[in-house]
Amino acid sequence: MVEEKFALAASNPRDPVIIALYEAQAEHRELGTHSHARGQLSGLRRGLLTMGTEAGAWIVPADHAVWLPPHHRHYGWTHGAIEAWSCYVAEPACVSLPTSPCTIRTSGLLREAVMRASDWQGDSLDEEQWHVAMVILNELRTAPVKPFGLPMPRDPRLALIARALLDDPGDRRGIGEWADWAGISERTASRRFVLETGFTYTAWRQRARLMRALEMLAEGQAVTNVALDLGYDSVSAFIALFKRTLGVTPTAYFQRG
């Protein structure tokens, strides 16, 4: 049934206005680069998901979702066991929705409405289903956009640095060393990092480390190992940063329902 509904979502860009899916899986799964004619909202009831485009990457914990407007090429992978939901929105209905990929904080109403819609059969909506679909669209339209993503710099030299850091977030080189490596002056690299990503180099690297930490923790790695592998000075420093950014300690984060 999931496969049939996904085929409908991919092949029929007009009707119905939404197509919702729910899927539970027990293992890591890679999602190759692709795009859809519909807008896509993807979230989780349990687990962790990484999604990205050329412009940036997002970690999606269980109380958030990623919105991708129609035709945006994207990739993704899951981390261990998950319960995932997606809602594909017909392109004409995306006009009043966010025009750029973003992470949103999902309400209980949005999640439950999508779960209800995932049980629908057929390729048209009755009156009650239409009202639920409008609730979903309104909740998406008014959901607070959350900044927990990692925008990629456009400058090719900075992009080299960013990709190297994503490959090894624990690399301790400072901006001066990276600038020499990439063939750009330290001053220009520092200035353009802020202009193109909205973050200083240090803040960007910190964010990259925290995103990787979430992935590693979701896969069952110990907090101590994560902190040391990612280059933090101490486990306590990592826990303090994690709590300051996400509001809870790493252990508490993954104990939430």
Q: 152-253 belongs to which homologous superfamily?
A: Homeodomain-like (1.10.10.60)
Side-chain-facing half-sphere of 113: CA atoms under 13 Å? 21
Instruction: Give me the tens of pLDDT residue by residue for the chain, a chain 257 residues long.
Output: 444 444 444 444 446 899 999 988 766 677 778 899 999 999 888 777 788 887 777 777 777 889 999 999 988 877 777 788 999 999 999 999 988 888 888 888 999 999 999 999 877 888 999 999 999 999 999 988 876 577 888 898 998 898 888 878 889 899 999 999 999 999 999 999 999 888 999 999 988 898 888 888 887 889 999 999 998 889 999 999 888 887 889 888 776 64
Contact 216, 189 (CB under 8 A): no
Contact 137, 89 (CB under 8 A): yes
Q: Note the pTM of the prediction, 2 decimals.
A: 0.70
Contact 47, 23 (CB under 8 A): no
Beta bridge partners of 43: 65, 85
DSSP category for residue 153: P
Name the residue ranges covered by the structural domains of the chain.
Answer: 2-146, 152-253
Q: 2-146 belongs to which homologous superfamily?
A: Regulatory protein AraC (2.60.120.280)
